[in-house]
Chain A
Amino acid sequence: MEKFIANLVKNFESGQIDRREFCQTVALAATVYAAGDAANAQTRTGFKVLGINHISYTCPDYTKARDFYTSVFGLESTPGKDNGKRANLMFGPEPGKGGSFIVARTAATPANPRPPSQAVIDHICFTMSNWDEQKVRAALKAKGLEISGGRDGSLHVLDPFNYDVQFANLVEEDPFKHGLTAN
């Protein structure tokens, strides 16, 4: 990054780019800095996974789910993507840069029903950064939510449809320490 900016300053000084272009380029570089080159590498076997794109959440009334996940966990309802039947609830990095979303939708009878799966996702867990136990518990209380399980650093609540939602910090939910902690 430093070398890139040094070159940019040089180009500015030599008149190859103007003032406006200089400022825009530095600002753009800042927004893409975190991307690195991870997206350019494709593994030989299997795909190089970058993360969870979305979760499709089906329930009797998507508006209740939308309001819960936006008000409690700070997800953002994507502008223009709430059509009265579903909404895209964004979180994490920006859309198109690795961000995730929950598609909250009201159940409808499918035209071509799929055979039932043998698997079920029985709960989801969000990571919270800068976990502060007191603030987390106070925020839950302020929102009128009852803790349904867990321990310090890793708590559960039930959403409006009794779906189990966990939220945790790195200490309690580190994938590389699985087997040493409960989930």
Chain B
Amino acid sequence: MEGFVAQKLNDFETGKISRRKLIETLTFAATATSAAGSAQAQAENPLKAQLINHLSYTCPDFKKAADWYSMVLNADQVGETKRDVVVVLGKKGEQPYNVTAKDVPHSHLVIRTPSAEPPARGGPRARPQSQAVIDHVGYTVANFNRAEAKAQLTAMGVKNVRDGGLYSLHMDDAMGYDVQLSGLDNNALTDG
């Protein structure tokens, strides 16, 4: 990017392009950089993951669990059915944070309660038992301050709030599932 800017600046200084053209070109280049990188990576691997689409969260009481996430993460619930509801980690009409691709939706939780009825004969075949488990999920929130967040969560009635490393807090959700909350400081480069 820097090399491109230097070239355009040189063109401007030598009179090859106008001041107006310089500004337009740099504006376009600056806003297109991120999108171009994403498109190139996708062309190289059609299976490249852009973002978590959703986590499928199964529990005995989907409404109770969803209300907890809505309260703590200020997240909207949409599409409620008899057995499940979606909790969206972002607002409708907004792009996911720092994502420019228009075909990438907000990450969300599909929170569901299994049917009490036995599976119908001829229904989907049972999956093999997994040897892996997702034992906790971390969420990024804006302007995270651990001390303030701890006080705020405690005031909300969140259970088992405890420190987690330098940049985060752990807590139990309404189903006793381990949830971590942090700011942008907790990331792949700093965690672990």
Contact = CB atoms under 8 A, between A and B. Distances in A.
Most chain B CB atoms below 10 A, which of A34, A54, A101, A180: A54
B109 to A, nearest CB: 9
Contacts, number: 367
A88 B188 CA distance: 6
A52 B137 contact: yes
Given A58-B133, A92-B99, A100-B51, A29 B188 contact: no
* Interface size bracket, B side: 35 or more
Interface in B133-192: 133-144, 149, 152, 156, 173, 175-178, 180-182, 184-192
Contacts of B78: 175-176, 178
Nearest to B52: A52
Contact of B65 (A6, A26, A119, A127): A119
Interface string A44-82: 011111111111111110000100000011110010010
Contact of B135 (A56, A74, A124, A169): A56
Given A27-B5, A98-B98, A139 B56 contact: no
Interface of A: 1-2, 5-6, 9, 12, 19, 22-24, 26-27, 29-31, 33-35, 38-43, 45-60, 65, 72-75, 78, 81, 83, 86, 88-101, 103, 114-132, 135-136, 138-140, 143, 148-149, 158-159, 161-164, 166-170, 173-180, 183
